[in-house]
Structure 1
Amino acid sequence: MNTIHVAGGVGVADTAMASYDAALADANLHNYNLVAVSSVVPAEATVEAVEAAPDLGPAGNQLTVVEARRTVGPDDAVDFREGGRAGAEDAESKRAPRRRPDVAAGLGWATGPGPGLFYEVTGEDPDDVRERIEAGLDAGSDLRDWELPDREVHVETAAATPDRFTTAVVIAAYGESEPIL
């Protein structure tokens, strides 16, 4: 493994799993069995952001990943009155309108001499996701006392779709896939 490819995608479908699969397809990572690991970048690896992952081996292989994933469905509307957000009040009911949340998934990485770190965050606001990624990378590098000056962030966003599930993913795929059997 020399290169870790970071790719993101968005999917919309009738079920949560189908929207996740569609988001993986958007990132070209849908034909692998993903094996999640924690967030350390090996010292000998390079991290490369790509629009879609290249071919990383045969379908059905296992692929080591760090993943940020958020899915919202038809029942995930936000009530402004309960959620404390500002919104126009409905004159008839005196209730704040309900809205579908946005979907944001982000992955940041920090590298330098030696090993590095990934940090994954999900939420509704892409700016908030970016801020929390930066804070997480700072905390992780401070905890390890590592100097990690080279940083990047990839955030995928989508407006949730009424009556369907919407998923955003950002995945760091470590090297090539390997046979699972």
Structure 2
Amino acid sequence: MKKISVRATTATAPTELSAFDRTLCKMGLGNANLIHLSSVVPKDFSVEVTENKHTLDKNHQGDRMYVVYADNRTSTVGDKVAAGLGWVLTDSDGGWGLFVEHVGETEDDVQELINKSLTSMMADRQEYEWGNIQSKIISTACEKEPVCALVLATYKREDW
């Protein structure tokens, strides 16, 4: 079974964009081109949360990385940002599933949106038996410099 890895981190930097880039670097993905996918987990894939950095060596700069991600950024001192991914897999039919990405001010806000979206999406696919909703959410607050909260799922790396 192939694996989709979910990582989450936050970062601060001089701009919102550089804070986003710093989160990617902290995940080991700063030198990859991200290809943002939509909402389907392919058949025969598992989804696992990891704290480990992705390992792209220096021969893979610019490679394509197929991902689903939620990022939330702010440069307003005192503002809070949260980002999260939610997923659910079928209990049969080869273990495929659905991903959603949401952002909000708090982790509770994001969890509520994830639950609403996936519940609705499963209802539109009643012919399948679904497992439990799972999620990974992270948050931070802007104290001085701009911040970014990022949760990212990596499917596959591909060179050119």
Asked if these proteins are the same fold (TM beyond 0.5), I'd say yes
- Paired position in structure 2 for 1:148: 130
Moved over 3 A (4+): none
- 2-side partners of 1:52 and 1:139: how far apart? 32
Shift of residue 56, structure 1, vs aligned partner: 5.1
- Provide the secondary structure at the position in 2 that maps to 1:65: strand
Structure 1 or 2, whichever has the larger Rg, is 1
In structure 1, stretches of 5+ residues that fail to align are 78-99
Return the match for 1:61 from 17, 42, 63. 63
Q: How does 1:95-174 map to 2 (within 5 A)?
A: 100-112=78-90, 113-114=92-93, 115-145=96-126, 146-162=128-144, 164-174=145-155
TM-score, normalised with respect to structure 1 = 0.79
Equivalent residue number for residue 2 of structure 2: 2
Give the Cα–Cα distance (whole angstroms) in 2 for the partners of residues 56 and 150 of structure 1: 32
Percent identical pairs in the alignment equals 33
* TM-score where L is the length of structure 2: 0.89
Between stretches 110-119 and 33-42, larger displacement belongs to: 110-119
Task: Work out the CA distance in 1 between the residues paired with 2:109 and 2:139.
Answer: 12
**Could you list the runs of 5+ residues in structure 2 that have no partner in the other structure?**
none
**Coordinate RMSD, CA, aligned:** 1.7
Residues paired across the two proteins, number: 154
